[in-house]
Every structure is written in structure tokens, then in C-alpha cells.
Structure 1
Amino acid sequence: MILYPAIDLKNGQAVRLLRGEMDAATVFNDDPASQARTFVDGGAEWLHLVDLDGAFAGEPRNARAVESILAACPVPTQLGGGIRDRATVERWLSAGLRRVILGTAAVENPNFVREVARAYPGQVAVGLDARGGKIATRGWALETEATVTDLARAYEDAGIAALIYTDISRDGAMQGPNVEATADLARSVSIPVIASGGVSSLDDLARLKATGVIAGAIVGRALYDGAVDLRTALGLLRD
């Protein structure tokens, strides 16, 4: 299981939100590249970035911060938020990102998602962000009628590298991940599933790993608050 330290970007800063609310942001570092180096120095082999402003705007808004992280940290990095056209996908992959994450586009423009997944095999993931099992888009501001499982299954044959499932009600709340729903999703599709939202302890990571079907976990606030020690967590997931 891969651990993905999370860096959420808002106004050029590394922040964490509470349940996706932009007005409930806590700033953890004014220098996202420095934060990324701290994670890499701690042993992280991947980084997970989110352009929060971009998710609402529909286009990149924290490009400078992302580029500074890519320049500072030579580890595979994935990014979501505001990526809704092929030019933006190409721009980010050319800049050095290993993987782009498409969320809103996966609901609103599935043909585009399939097109770029074919063009860039192994470099396109789909973000499944949900409240009560229903997908939310446009920075989690718009709730849809699409269910997590139905949307995931719609991309079974598209060559998607991974599905990133976020239970919005758990995100940033330090109340534990939705292990059961994440494992159920992973068992229902052949695409690797990455858990996101709510990891608050080593026990949470152990429970995700114990399912035997979850490919990775994104951890944010727990690392910043010190509730999870990065090196210990990496060792746990490697064993």
C-alpha cells in the first residue's frame, strides 16, 4: 500500500480544509515546496497535490506552487483541481507530474477523460469525491445524482491508472476513513483504489491495509498535526 502525503494549495499556501469548506481552511505552511521537501526527506515516495482554487475556478490557480514542488522534489507526484481540458493535462504532464486527477471532468465530460487516458496510459486518475455515496463536483460545491460505484464502473475499460475515493464528510475531520465503503468500491472494480479523507491514526492505516484490496491512502491533517508519524506509517504499510 502506498502512502500519499497531501498538500492542498490555496492562495499559494499549504492548507487543510474541514469537510471541503473553503472558509474552514487552516494554513500549515506558507512555502509548499518546503513542506513537500519535509515529506520527501521523511521517506515519502509519492506526493498528492490539490489545487483548491483551481477546483472552483475550473483552471489552474496555484501553478507556481505546484511547479516549485516539482522542482524541489524528484518523486512521483499527482495533482487534482481545475484540470478539465487536454491542454491543461498536457501542460502538467510536460511539467513533470506523474499523474493528473480528473474529478469534475469525469462526470461532465467522460469522452474527454477516456481520450486522455488512452493518450497518456498510466498517467490519468479519476477522483471520486462523494457525500452520502453521491458524487460532488466543482470543488465539492455541486452535488450530483451519480453514485460512486456507478461512475467507477463506467471507467472500467478506459485505462484509468487509479480511482481516488474521498468521503467528503470525513475529510480533514480526523474521525477515521470510511474503510467499509472504500473496500466495497475496491472489490467492485479492477482499477486500483486509493483511500482519501479522515485518516487520523496509524490504526486507521492498518485497517485500510488489512482489507487487502486498497492500493493506497492519502494522509493530510494527521501528518501536519503530528497524529501520524510519516516514517512509522511508511514502515507499517511496507511490512
Structure 2
Amino acid sequence: MIEIWPAIDLIDNKSVRLTEGDYGTKEEMQRTPQEAIAFYAQFEQVKRIHIVDLMGALNQKPEETPFIEQLLQQSPLPVEIGGGIRSEETIKHYFDKGASYVIVGTKGLQDLPWLAEMTAKYPGKIYLGMDAKGELVAVNGWTETGQQTIYDVVAATNAMALGGIIYTDISKDGKMAGPNFEVTGKLVALSTHPITASGGVRSVDDIKKLEALGVAAAIVGKAANTDAFWEGLA
């Protein structure tokens, strides 16, 4: 089975979920971030914890850094960090504090030469967060849509030393209605990098369908907070 990376999205040191990236839909999860890490770490399919600083993504700079540093010390699994990462200083800081990977979104999408430089310095350690509304890339905490298509981005980054690309269909995020299988499959075919699916993953059946498409990993958010999802893995 492909790897499962449970998502812990942070606002004010709390684990929350949004629907379609709308900050007005914020819903606090039952488990604290610390409890969630301990819970997820017990499953053999979970190879990595995915942590996002949501206000960092919105405000274009890290907001939860001290708390994330605590979580990095606690986690027995590798952790990837995203949200507001727009400088080499921030990238290096998270690596120095124990992050295994970082996710670059807006800055990397808007400044491809910078992304190429960072991936050359940290090969295989940087993932590109490619969030989309339809086929257009969204930036700044999903509040703005650019002119690039996701296919433009894949073509422009194929030669870079990325760890992979994390593709999120924003229209699916937080709805537990299934991921965008069609577009995810297209990206797998077009990209030289591993594709991670994010947004809408709700069940083991979804995981199996993604695996059949050649997807490397699935980020699971809201569904990871339900017992039914994990019972299905047994």
C-alpha cells in the first residue's frame, strides 16, 4: 500500500480542519496535535507526519514556529512542514530543528529560479505544494489564483531536485468526497517526481485507487480523525 501521511493543520497551536481552504470554516479536531502524532505513529502505513502552519500560509510568514519545534521533538516519525516558507533562512531553520522535509508553495510557484536553487542545495528534501482551483494554481493560503496551470508547473519543475509534488484539489479539500483521481493520474504521467495526493481522501478504497494510478503517498486530513478510516486499514 502507498504511504499515508496524516495531516495536522495548525492555528493557534490547535489542530484544525478547513473546508475548501476557507478559514471561516475552521473546525477544531478532537485530538490535540500531540495526541494526534502519538495516535498516527502506531499505524505501519504511516511513514510521515504532515504539519501545516495555516496562518503562516495566509500571512506569508511562519506563525507557529515555536510550537512546531516542540512537535518535531515529540514525533517518532519523519515530519514535513509547510505554511509560510518563503526563504532559505526558514528552510534551514526547520531542518536544523529536526524537520525531515519542507513544503514550499507560493514562493516556489512564483519564483522558479529560487525553487531551483533551493532544491539544488537541499536535494530530495523540498516538496512543492501545488494547490489548484480547477487546473489553475492557487497561492497565498489559497486566497488567490494565478495564471499558471498545474501542467505548466510540472513541466517547469521536472528537471529540479524536488522530493516530490503534493497536489491538492481545493474543491475536494475537507469534504471527504474523494480526491480528484482524473487529474492526479494525469500529473503522475507527466511528472518526473513522485506525486502525493491531498484533498478529499476518505477511505482505504480511495487509497487503493490512488495506488493504482501510481501515486506515491496520500495526505489524509479530516478522515484521519475518524475511527472508520483506520479500522479499514486493519
Q: TM-score range by the shorter chain?
A: over 0.9
Alignment of 1:104-123 (within 5 A): 104-123=106-125
- Superposition deviation, residue 38 in structure 1: 1.2
Corresponding letter in the other structure for 1:192: P
Cα shift readout 1:62-99 (whole Å, capped 9, x = no counterpart) = 11331121111121111111000110000011111111
| Partner in structure 1 of residue 80 of structure 2 | 78
Corresponding letter in the other structure for 2:77: V
User: Contact 1:85–1:112 (CA<8 Å) still a contact in 2?
Assistant: no
d(CA) in 2 for partners of 1:223, 1:101? 20
| Partner in structure 1 of residue 19 of structure 2 | 18
d(CA) in 2 for partners of 1:172, 1:114? 31
SS at match of 1:6: strand
- Superposition deviation, residue 36 in structure 1: 1.0
**TM-score scaled by structure 1?**
0.93
User: Contact 1:124–1:160 (CA<8 Å) still a contact in 2?
Assistant: yes
| Partner in structure 1 of residue 161 of structure 2 | 159
- Superposition deviation, residue 126 in structure 1: 0.3
Alignment of 1:1-239 (within 5 A): 1-29=2-30, 31-43=32-44, 44-211=46-213, 213-229=214-230, 232-233=232-233
Corresponding letter in the other structure for 1:217: A
- Superposition deviation, residue 30 in structure 1: 6.6
* Stretch of structure 1 that moved more, 58-67 or 153-162: 58-67
* Stretch of structure 1 that moved more, 152-161 or 21-30: 21-30
Corresponding letter in the other structure for 2:179: P
d(CA) in 1 for partners of 2:198, 2:18? 13
d(CA) in 2 for partners of 1:41, 1:73? 11
- Superposition deviation, residue 29 in structure 1: 4.4
Cα shift readout 1:29-76 (whole Å, capped 9, x = no counterpart) = 473122111111334221111110000111111113311211111211
- Calculate percent identity across the aligned residue pairs: 34
Q: What is the aligned length?
A: 232
d(CA) in 2 for partners of 1:153, 1:74? 35
* Stretch of structure 1 that moved more, 22-31 or 66-75: 22-31
Give the root-mean-square deviation of aligned CA atoms: 1.4
Runs of 4 or more above 3 Å deviation: none
d(CA) in 1 for partners of 2:90, 2:228? 35
- Superposition deviation, residue 226 in structure 1: 2.8
d(CA) in 2 for partners of 1:98, 1:187? 27
d(CA) in 1 for partners of 2:68, 2:30? 14
* Runs of 5+ unmatched residues, structure 2: none
Cα shift readout 1:144-197 (whole Å, capped 9, x = no counterpart) = 111001111101111111000000000000110001110110101111000000
SS at match of 1:169: helix
* Runs of 5+ unmatched residues, structure 1: none
Corresponding letter in the other structure for 2:41: V
